[in-house]
Chains A and B, each alone.
Chain A
Amino acid sequence: MPRFTPYAASTTRRTFLKGATALATGALATPFLNRRAFAEPTEITMLAWYGHAEPDVVAEFEAEHNVKFKSKYYTGGDNMLGLIAQSPPGTYDLILSDAEYVQQLNAAGYIEKLDPADYAFDEYFPEFQQFPGHWSGGELYSVFTRFGFLGVAYNTDAITEKEASSYRVYWLEKLKGKVGHFDWHLPNLGQMSLLNGNASPYDIDGNAWEKVKETTMSLRSQVGGFFDYGGTFSSLENGQMLSVAGIGDWITGVLEKNGAHVRTAIPEEGGLQWTESFSIGKGSQKADLAKKWIQYITSARGQVRSANMAAYPAMIPNKKGWELLAKETPEEAKRQGMLLGESNVMDLIRGGRIKYRQLPVQQSLEDWNDFWSDYKGS
């Protein structure tokens, strides 16, 4: 390298570098001290939405198996897929994704086949034992761990419960410029499809698809913005948006706990269900450990942690998990409607009020997405 760095710069920089390194190592060493007392923990990698590998969820498992989670959080399923596609196989041992992406991960061959006998599906509610998106050709590729509903998210100071009981609330005059969209075509267009009365919102013929487009377009003048996760959070919280389409308790629940006046209602036209599940990455060197983790997080103990996850709350598919949750954190079980022996979320599902969010069946995913871009641009 050519030498032209001025003398003064190199000295300052050197001292600065030294100081910075000392500072950083000193600080780094502290949190690791107690763990060093035992054997070096095995490292296992997880690719997930934010929060899934935070201490409130993984600490117990880490201690029991002398494991250390190394996490990578993504902020969108498509970036996640792109990342996996271009990374060396085996980079990620565990992959948490939504059911729609499990289908894509599987079709592209990025995840391992699993043995159903390894997991406690018999503890699950019957309707969750063979969740469609997680199985392919009779084989299991992903284990269901948590779910939630999407409906009308609204500001309780501005909108009444009655108004929020239909998707038509988005068209109210007082919400002009105050309706936000969570920026992803699937949940939004699914809600429009439900409003149009389609029994299977994602399995619709050409005619019904045209009608969905029409309904959606008529909403455009009400819309104040299209937001990602963070944007949705803050615009609901600071009242910039009074209602947001395409989300549910996974956002409003967190806000509610922090004192914001927002809530999600499942309207009479029905709600949508999102689902998260764990898969083992193709080529993982620690598949055994990964399996142990999935077993843990889908057991009653792990499910309770999952339901109470600090980052965002969710419902759990394991019935034994419900029982334990009622004992350990009854308020949260109550808030989320997961108490056995009274009206609960399973009744909503069994009453046909809830449809799975999924990839469009009769149209291609591109058609839906292209329409969404057109909608945003119009």
Chain B
Amino acid sequence: MRKSITLYGLTFSLPLLVWQLLFFLFPLVFLIALSFWTVKNFRLQPDFDTANWVRMYGREVFWQAYFLTLALAASASVIASVLAFPCSYAIAFKFSETARRWSVFLMVIPFFTSYIVRVYSWQVFLSDNGIINAALAWVGLGPFGMLNTTFGTMIGYLTLSFPLVVLLQLFSLMFIDRTLIEAAHNLRCGRLRTVFEVVIPSAKVGLVIAALFCFILTFGDFVSPLYLGGGDPPTLSILITDTTKSGQQWPRAAVIALTMIATLLTVAFAAIGYAYRGRGR
């Protein structure tokens, strides 16, 4: 492993660093500073006042929203990962080369249709007089309240994250060394056991990264909890919007945002650490 700083190395390392320093670090620092500012006459005043932190952290509704959001995002990551795995597995191991290629492209397509349009479209399925309840009524069931519930929020979260989770899982499954699986089979290792003891460990990095991205996306999303969950009870992202409604209280919104960032960073580093643990590098 060569360690000296070379032009070659810098060509790859520097651009991102420069870009993020120029265009991201400052907004981030601004955000931190903003959380100490005060609001006078509906105008933001540079200041150093911990009042925003004290006030937000002292509120029950903040912690309520915090743990709710945490629970929702964690559930979404687990549900999306579990639901996506058989699908990615089938695409990776049961589909022909051509079908696999098309599957990848088909999973990319949803990214190109607006998320907000897709969520809005789900309302027609989930509402009391919607498509699903109409179908259920036809077989003599229902109606079930699905819109403006946590179930609705979850459907929205899956709409947001499911295709990405499948793609990331697929990426790691597709490139598993197949001789490993054949070896397991030759050793008369059962089907499920092969999946759990060979496939999943080999694809661990991808599976964890997929779940992590799902967590990151859903933790900060406000479209699904608002349009499919009815904003009730509020998640942190909704609380941010609410907080700005008391006459430019962006500083307090910044407190919520920074708390979210810290949480996500912790989760991200824990997940990455877990994913790469026990690997050579």
Contacts and interface: CB of A to CB of B under 8 A. Distances in A.
Asked if chains A and B are in direct contact (CB within 8 A), the reply is yes
B178 interface: no
Interface stretch (A58-66, A201-209, A255-263, A363-371): A363-371
Contacts of A107: 41-43
Contact of B41 (A79, A108, A225, A376): A108
Given A238-B129, A376-B231, A377-B233, A1 B42 contact: no
Nearest to A220: B232
A81 B44 CA distance: 11
A105 B42 CA distance: 8
Interface string A90-111: 0000000000000011011100
B273 interface: no
Contact of A2 (B11, B129, B227): B11
Contacts of A1: 15
Contacts of B233: 376-377
Interface string B210-225: 0000000000000000
A368 B123 contact: no
A184 interface: yes
A287 B126 CA distance: 49
B43 A109 contact: yes
Interface in A195-235: 223-228, 230-231, 234-235
B47 interface: no
Contact of B248 (A78, A238, A370, A374): A78
Contact of A366 (B15, B232, B249, B250): B249
B248 A82 contact: yes
A82 B42 CA distance: 10
B177 interface: no
Interface string A149-160: 000000000000
Contact of B246 (A180, A183, A238, A370): A370
B42 A104 contact: yes
A373 B230 contact: no
Given A82-B244, A177-B145, A370-B59, A376 B130 contact: no
B144 to A, nearest CB: 13
Contacts, number: 115
A180 B147 CA distance: 13
Nearest to A105: B42
Nearest to A185: B245
A300 to B, nearest CB: 34
Nearest to B124: A238
B78 to A, nearest CB: 25
Given A184-B245, A238-B129, A368-B246, A376 B232 contact: yes
A76 interface: yes
Contacts of B128: 238-240
Given A107-B41, A227-B231, A238-B123, A78 B245 contact: yes
B12 A2 contact: yes
Contacts of A81: 42, 248
Interface string A73-84: 000101101100
B241 A76 contact: yes
B260 to A, nearest CB: 16
B239 to A, nearest CB: 6
A370 B247 CA distance: 12
Given A2-B12, A79-B244, A82-B244, A377 B129 contact: no
A298 B145 CA distance: 47
A348 interface: no
B255 to A, nearest CB: 13
A376 B247 CA distance: 19
Contact of A238 (B41, B130, B243, B244): B130
Interface in A156-199: 177, 180, 183-185
A225 B61 contact: no
Given A109-B43, A240-B128, A370-B59, A225 B246 contact: no
Contacts of B239: 373
Contact of B244 (A78, A227, A372): A78
A22 interface: no
A177 B243 CA distance: 25
Contacts of B15: 1-2
A373 B61 contact: yes
A16 to B, nearest CB: 13
A361 interface: no
Which 7 A-B pairs have CB atoms at the shortest separation, nearest pair first? Answer: A225-B230, A369-B246, A377-B61, A226-B231, A104-B42, A108-B43, A366-B246
27 contacts: A1-B15, A2-B12, A2-B15, A78-B245, A78-B248, A81-B42, A82-B244, A108-B42, A109-B43, A177-B145, A185-B245, A225-B231, A225-B232, A227-B226, A227-B230, A235-B147, A238-B128, A239-B127, A239-B128, A364-B246, A366-B249, A368-B246, A369-B245, A369-B246, A372-B242, A373-B234, A377-B233
Interface of A: 1-2, 76, 78-79, 81-82, 85, 104-105, 107-109, 177, 180, 183-185, 223-228, 230-231, 234-235, 238-240, 364-366, 368-370, 372-374, 376-378
Given A108-B248, A369-B249, 8 more contacts: A107-B41, A185-B245, A224-B148, A225-B230, A238-B123, A366-B249, A376-B234, A378-B61
